[in-house]
């Protein structure tokens, strides 16, 4: 993959993109931009065309908002960013010299849309970000980046905004950090920006998610910021004021990639050794457990009994859950691990029954 992390001279300072979910009026964007602290915020964002879940909601002010973004750029000497979702948007955005463009989560899912945007941006010098698709599909996210690269676009970035779930979690969009971390392993030269606003869906979680992003060495943040968040025309619950944003940014601790200190390294190595030993023990235990599951499979086969027994599953699940607080592990973790163990046991038993 091409090395294009260098479109920004230094990534040791996070890139912070802030501004409202939607541009609402010229006065609104100007008053927000005026309040952003330029030492902490480098790019101004505002949505002009808004993809909404249901019809009848506010769908953005349209191209007139691009003129307001131009004013922001002139008055406050800050580059501006907006979302584009088709070739017509791209044309308008380029005509108005918008500096950063992003492909939204609802567009990244559609290869036709991404291809259309990529072709209309062919060889552009603009910076283009790709938000993760709403569904947890790493290949689709990387595929969008590849479509842009294939059109000669070099200044690229990824935005992690979380993934939709049917079952509601505490987040509006479940972060599933592992997907973004895998993205970074596979495309290490693409800067990774966190969008805590769309992950959270509510402003009280913005700090924790942002800090988590920097614990993972992300390159920056995109935070929805509004002068009057409660009365915003879209995404009101998740927007913060410029003052709150500044307080969040000042509180965030940036992490180093490593430390040369030898005491740190020897301690780390010891702890990692403990982890390796414990992991070995855990895997040996899993292996023993699965051998027992296999014996149960043989027994069920001899008696022609079905493999899945819901009462037994519920019993294991409830017993383990009641130990959770004592063990200091989250219920979510226990549930995931138990489900994986149970599935493996069933697979082993089904194989025996089918033989
Ligand atoms: C946005 O940034 O306002 C937006 C619509 O985000 P997403 O594409 O992540 O839903
Ligand atoms: Mn929004």
What does the pLDDT look like over 213-235, one tens digit per residue? 999 999 999 999 999 999 999 99
Q: Whose CA is nearest to atom 2 of ligand 1?
A: 21
How many domains are contained in the chain? 2
Residues 285 and 175 in one domain: no
Count how many Cα atoms sit within 13 Å of the Cα of residue 235 in the half-sphere of its side chain.
Answer: 30
Residues 169 and 224 in one domain: yes
* pLDDT for the residue 93: 98
Residues 336 and 109: their CA atoms lie apart, in Å, by 26
Which of residues 139 and 316 earns the better pLDDT score?
139
Answer yes or no: is pLDDT of 9 > 70.
no
* pLDDT for the residue 1: 42
Residues 268 and 243 in one domain: no
Asked if residue 49 belongs to a domain, the reply is: yes
Angle made by CA atoms 249, 34, 49, in degrees to the nearest 5: 85
CATH number of the CATH domain containing 300: 1.20.59.10
Answer yes or no: is pLDDT of 8 > 80.
no
The CA 51 to ligand 2 mean position distance, Å, reads 9
Residues 189 and 325 in one domain: no
Judged by its nearest atom, the ligand closest to the C-alpha of residue 236 is 2
Bridge partners for 43 per DSSP: 17
Asked if residue 33 belongs to a domain, the reply is: yes
- The residue among 186, 243, 254, 245 whose CA lies nearest residue 218 is 254
Ranges 37-41, 65-69, 257-261, 269-273: which has the least confidence? 257-261
Kindly report the number of other CB atoms within 10 A of residue 238's CB atom: 25
The answer to whether 126 and 97 are in contact (CB under 8 A) is no
Asked if residue 10 belongs to a domain, the reply is: yes
Q: Report residue 205's pLDDT band, with 50, 70 and 90 as the boundaries.
A: very high
Q: Which residues contact 135 (CB under 8 A, 6 or more apart)?
A: 109, 163, 164
The CA 182 to ligand 2 mean position distance, Å, reads 25
Among candidate residues 192, 216, 251, the one where a domain is terminated:
251
Angle made by CA atoms 149, 150, 151, in degrees to the nearest 5: 90
Residues 245 and 267 in one domain: no
Residues 165 and 124 in one domain: yes
Q: Whose CA is nearest to atom 4 of ligand 1?
A: 104
Instruction: Tokens for 119, please give them.
Output: 């072709």
Ranges 49-53, 160-164, 193-197, 279-283: which has the least confidence? 49-53
Residues 203 and 161: their CA atoms lie apart, in Å, by 14
- Residue 347 belongs to domain spanning: 262-354
Judged by its nearest atom, the ligand closest to the C-alpha of residue 163 is 1
Mutate to test the pocket of ligand 1, among 20, 21, 49 (most ligand atoms within 8 A of CB): 21
Which ligand 1 atom is nearest residue 22's CA? 3
Pocket of ligand 1 (CB under 6 A): 21, 47, 51, 104-106, 131, 161, 198
Asked if residue 22 belongs to a domain, the reply is: yes
The CA 119 to ligand 1 mean position distance, Å, reads 22
Specify burial of residue 114 (Cβ count, 10 A radius: 0-12, 13-18, 19+). buried
The CA 44 to ligand 1 mean position distance, Å, reads 15
Among candidate residues 251, 283, 306, the one where a domain is terminated:
251
Q: Whose CA is nearest to atom 9 of ligand 1?
A: 105
The CA 165 to ligand 1 mean position distance, Å, reads 16
Phi then psi for residue 304, to 5 deg, are 55, 50
CATH number of the CATH domain containing 52: 3.20.20.70
Asked if residue 99 belongs to a domain, the reply is: yes
Instruction: Tokens for 225, please give them.
Output: 């910021």
Percentage of the chain with pLDDT > 90? 85
What residue has token string 């001279």? 9
Residues 51 and 154 in one domain: yes
The answer to whether 222 and 198 are in contact (CB under 8 A) is no
Residues 244 and 279 in one domain: no
Strands 156-160 and 220-224: unpaired
* pLDDT for the residue 281: 98
Instruction: Tokens for 146, please give them.
Output: 């590849």
Residues 125 and 202 in one domain: yes
Asked if residue 256 belongs to a domain, the reply is: no
Judged by its nearest atom, the ligand closest to the C-alpha of residue 52 is 1
Among candidate residues 251, 283, 308, the one where a domain is terminated:
251
Asked if residue 67 belongs to a domain, the reply is: yes
Phi then psi for residue 43, to 5 deg, are -135, 145
């Amino acid at each position: 993959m091409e090395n294009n992390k260098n479109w920004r001279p230094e990534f040791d300072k996070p890139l912070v993109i802030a501004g409202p979910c939607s541009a609402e009026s010229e006065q609104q964007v100007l008053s927000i931009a005026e309040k952003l602290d330029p030492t902490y915020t480098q790019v101004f964002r505002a949505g002009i065309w808004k993809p909404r879940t249901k019809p009848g909601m506010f769908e953005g002010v349209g191209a007139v908002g691009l003129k307001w973004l131009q004013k922001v750029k002139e008055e406050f000497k800050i580059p501006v960013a907006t979302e584009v979702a088709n070739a017509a948007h791209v044309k308008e955005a380029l005509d108005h010299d918008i500096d950063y463009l992003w492909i939204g989560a609802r567009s990244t899912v559609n290869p036709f849309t991404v291809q259309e945007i990529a072709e209309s941006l062919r060889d552009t010098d603009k910076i283009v970000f790709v938000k993760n698709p709403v569904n947890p599909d790493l290949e689709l996210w990387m595929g969008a980046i590849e479509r842009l690269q294939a059109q000669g676009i070099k200044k690229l970035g990824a935005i992690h905004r979380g993934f939709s779930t049917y079952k509601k979690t505490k987040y509006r969009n479940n972060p599933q950090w592992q997907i973004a971390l895998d993205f970074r392993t596979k495309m290490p030269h693409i800067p990774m920006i966190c969008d805590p606003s769309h992950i959270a869906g509510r402003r009280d979680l913005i700090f924790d998610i942002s800090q988590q992003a920097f614990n993972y060495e992300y390159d920056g943040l995109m935070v929805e910021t509004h002068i009057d968040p409660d009365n915003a025309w879209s995404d009101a619950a998740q927007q913060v004021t410029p003052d709150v944003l500044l307080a969040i940014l000042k509180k965030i601790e940036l992490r180093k990639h490593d430390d040369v200190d030898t005491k740190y390294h020897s301690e780390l190595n010891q702890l990692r050794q403990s982890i390796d030993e414990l992991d070995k023990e855990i895997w040996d235990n899993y292996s023993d457990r699965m051998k027992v599951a296999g014996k149960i499979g043989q027994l069920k086969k001899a008696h022609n009994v079905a493999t899945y027994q819901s009462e037994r599953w519920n019993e294991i699940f409830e017993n383990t859950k009641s130990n959770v607080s004592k063990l200091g592990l989250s219920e979510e973790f226990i549930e995931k691990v138990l489900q994986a163990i149970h599935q493996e046991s069933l697979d082993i038993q089904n194989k025996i029954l089918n033989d």
